[in-house]
Structure 1
Amino acid sequence: MKQRILGYDVAKTIAMFLVVLLHYSFYTRYYSGGLDGTLATTACVVCVPLFFAVNGALLLPRKLDVRKHYRKLAAIVAIIAIWKTLAALFFVVVDGTQPVSIKDFLKFQFGGAFGAYPTGYFWFMHALIAVYAVYPALKLVFDAGGMALRSLVVVLSAFTVGKDTAVVLLDMLGAASGHEFASILGGLSEFTVFGGYGYVALYFLVGGILGNVMVHPGENPPTAWPWKRIKPAVAIAAVVLCYVLLLGTQRFQHAVRSTNLTIDYGYWLLPTFATTILILALCLMIHTNNHVAQTIITQSGQNTFGVYMLHLMAITLFAKVQQLPGFAAMGTLRHGMVTVVNIVFVLMIFVCCLLASCVLRRVPLIGKLFSL
């Protein structure tokens, strides 16, 4: 059995909790859409980037067996198809208010939406499959290192983090001047073959670079710019600064376009990129000899896939429970208290899904659906 790196499990746990919090804010009955609720959901902007960075950090420094990799990819596609079938059955049986057809189900299996049901969270798995499909090519560039890797990182950065940060800045300039500038860069996507998932490859690659330097120093050839270990206090201060910038961006978008809870282009912005890499670096600095803490973190890290597959079903059920009269009092709470209570509920949902995944993972055959 390969030794698990505690920091990766910590990072995956943080990312998964933030995913649950973000989706909970969309589908619960009593989440605050005001500033206090937004303070929490703005932090969720790193959840998906952090997952891809961890994936890159885990995979890229390892040796690649191409046949084994594509067998694993085929297994992932099959497992996701089963989960989509289970999700479709769940939403039809539990809700049943939206008309769906066999055609809708087939569209869902091939990456589309399942009618009007909230099954869009599968997009993450589509993006992961896309990255895994071209992983051997990314691995080839990663192993080559030097100018090849640097050039790819620069190109990806320019067309994702760079372009969309510039779009937001032009949007702000337009709002201040009374003119529209953001569309100037609207056609840049015509010049890249990576499309909308370019930022996914960027996080994957840079996560691999960070993992190679911090976890495998001396084991692999240097891949790109050397990582000078940053002091934890400095990293934390930088994360706080990036969060302030992201919150300011969200507030601007809320004022101009009534964007609520989320940030347009949130995954693609420079502060998000910096925060993601800094959080991963901070997680890799974590060490503990406490056996109980290690066990909890390891189990959580091992079961993030199961939590991801279960969490929206759990949120949907919880939203139905909130229709009971006993929850009506939440509508009378002040916004700040509503947010605190909801974060407690999110933690409960996360723990319940985690426990369910831990148990089901050990069941023959069924466990394969939780062992990705």
Structure 2
Amino acid sequence: MQKRIQYLDIIKVISIFLVVFCHFVLLAETIPANIFMVACWSGVPMFFMVNGALLFTRPLNLSKHIRKTLLIYIVLVLWKLIYLFSIGALCQVPVANFGKNQILLYLFAFGSLEGIGTGHLWFIEALLAVYILFPLFRIAYDHTHGRKIILFFAAYGILMTNGLTGLQMLLDALCAHGLLGVYSLEGLEILNPFGTYANMLGFFLFGAWLHTAPTLCGSLTRQRLLGLLSSLLGLSGMWAVKTYTSQNPAWDGILLVQGYRHLPVVFLAAGIFLICKDLTIPRPIPQKAITAVAKRTLGIYYLHWIFGWMLVPRLALLFPTFSIWTNLLKTLLLITPALLLTLLLEKIPILRHMVTG
């Protein structure tokens, strides 16, 4: 069994916390709430960075990787089936409302069904896309200049999504102020061979590059300072983007459109990664707790969605007002049962892969 890398476990725990924090939101309309919410856009990119860091430091077993990719797809189909009946029942959406073809497309072709909230599963779809391309990059990585190739395509994937989004926002702002005509960059999508999830492939490759890079700036202290500055730049940038798009500096109950496709999220995710890089956990109890959660983030990710539909509407009725504290409590109340149920399911051989991938 491969030894766990503690700092990657820490990043995974931070990531799953941020992901659950931004689902089923119980927040007041305040500026701190808005800052917390824009920070959550770094959660999924960091998951991809950790995946890249882990996969690129292991030997490539192509047949095993293909089986793993197929397993991810099969597990996704099974969870969509579970959601169809569980969330359908919780939201009072009868399965009979849908035709056979609709259900087949929903289950096997990444489709959706009205009333069955499964938007969060885009993450698994993006992971599948990245896993399909991974062997090509892993083979390139083993050759001369492999790390440079990885860095180039990491930057390319991110710039072709996050960079173009930022540039389009700038052009639109200049147009709105009468300083420029109407310009659309949609035609440049032809230069993006990686499609919808190019930025997630970019984060995946960037995580591998950062993980295998020597300590930046010559010392861990300087590296973490660089990470802190990058995080602050990214967080303030994401808040500025959200403020600009919504014309409101406070949380307005509306998620940032294409939140993963803005440039500041790159600085935020990379900054947190650098702050955590090479961190170790000296005390055994926190170490075991972080490892326990980090090993089960996939199960928590799938299960928290069901617990959210079950618990949050009732939880919301208990509070006269919402705040960051109510959303923190909600996050813990969703992660805890999801973690406990994952612990149980992974002990049942026929169900283990449903929560471990």
- TM-score where L is the length of structure 1: 0.86
- How many pairs are equivalent? 348
CA RMSD of aligned residues (A): 2.4
The answer to whether residue 66 in structure 2 is matched with residue 70 in structure 1 is yes
AA matched with 2:196 = G
SS at 1:187's partner residue?
helix
The answer to whether residue 77 in structure 2 is matched with residue 81 in structure 1 is yes
Q: State the Cα deviation string for residues 77-105 of structure 1 (Å, max 9, x = none).
A: 11221111111110222222363333332
Q: How far is the alpha carbon of 1:195 from its aligned partner?
A: 1.3
Matches within 5 A, 1:39-188: 39-97=35-93, 99-109=97-107, 110-144=109-143, 145=146, 148-177=149-178, 181=182, 183-188=183-188
Q: How far is the alpha carbon of 1:8 from its aligned partner?
A: 0.9
Range 265-274 or range 130-139, more displaced: 265-274
Matches within 5 A, 1:342-361: 342-361=327-346
Q: How far is the alpha carbon of 1:368 from its aligned partner?
A: 2.3
Distance 1:306 1:67, change over 3 A: same
The equivalent of 1:220 in structure 2 is none
The equivalent of 1:305 in structure 2 is 298
- 2:274 corresponds to which of 264, 276, 281: 281
Q: Separation in 2 of the partners of 1:244 and 1:151?
A: 27
Q: How far is the alpha carbon of 1:242 from its aligned partner?
A: 1.7
AA matched with 2:170 = L
Distance 1:9 1:156, change over 3 A: same
AA matched with 2:255 = T
- Structure 2 stretches lacking a partner, 5+ long: none
SS at 1:24's partner residue?
coil
Q: State the Cα deviation string for residues 196-224 of structure 1 (Å, max 9, x = none).
A: 1110110011111111225xx9xxxxxxx
SS at 2:117's partner residue?
coil
- Fraction of identical pairs, as percent: 24
The equivalent of 2:231 in structure 1 is 239
Q: State the Cα deviation string for residues 6-57 of structure 1 (Å, max 9, x = none).
A: 11111111111111111122xxxx5335534322211111011111111101
Q: How far is the alpha carbon of 1:265 from its aligned partner?
A: 3.1
Range 105-114 or range 314-323, more displaced: 314-323
Question: CA contact under 8 A between 1:38 and 1:262: conserved in structure 2?
Answer: no
Distance 1:76 1:153, change over 3 A: closer
Distance 1:357 1:194, change over 3 A: same
- Structure 1 stretches lacking a partner, 5+ long: 218-225
Distance 1:206 1:350, change over 3 A: same
Q: Separation in 2 of the partners of 1:342 and 1:16?
A: 14
The answer to whether residue 12 in structure 2 is matched with residue 20 in structure 1 is no
AA matched with 2:103 = F
The equivalent of 2:289 in structure 1 is 296
Matches within 5 A, 1:21-36: 21-25=21-25, 30-36=26-32
SS at 1:136's partner residue?
helix
Q: How far is the alpha carbon of 1:127 from its aligned partner?
A: 0.7
Question: CA contact under 8 A between 2:46 and 2:273: conserved in structure 1?
Answer: yes
Question: CA contact under 8 A between 2:162 and 2:261: conserved in structure 1?
Answer: yes
The equivalent of 1:338 in structure 2 is 323
Q: Separation in 2 of the partners of 1:75 and 1:155?
A: 29
Distance 1:211 1:234, change over 3 A: closer
Matches within 5 A, 1:260-271: 260-271=253-264
Q: Separation in 2 of the partners of 1:195 and 1:227?
A: 34
AA matched with 1:71 = R
SS at 1:365's partner residue?
coil
Matches within 5 A, 1:207-226: 207-213=207-213
Question: CA contact under 8 A between 1:210 and 1:227: conserved in structure 2?
Answer: no
AA matched with 2:237 = L
Distance 1:254 1:49, change over 3 A: same
Distance 1:179 1:121, change over 3 A: same
Question: CA contact under 8 A between 1:361 and 1:370: conserved in structure 2?
Answer: yes
Q: Separation in 2 of the partners of 1:95 and 1:184?
A: 39
Q: How far is the alpha carbon of 1:349 from its aligned partner?
A: 1.3
- TM-score where L is the length of structure 2: 0.89
The equivalent of 1:363 in structure 2 is 348
Q: Separation in 2 of the partners of 1:237 and 1:154?
A: 20
Q: Separation in 2 of the partners of 1:209 and 1:238?
A: 17
SS at 1:347's partner residue?
helix
The equivalent of 2:240 in structure 1 is 248
Question: CA contact under 8 A between 2:227 and 2:270: conserved in structure 1?
Answer: no
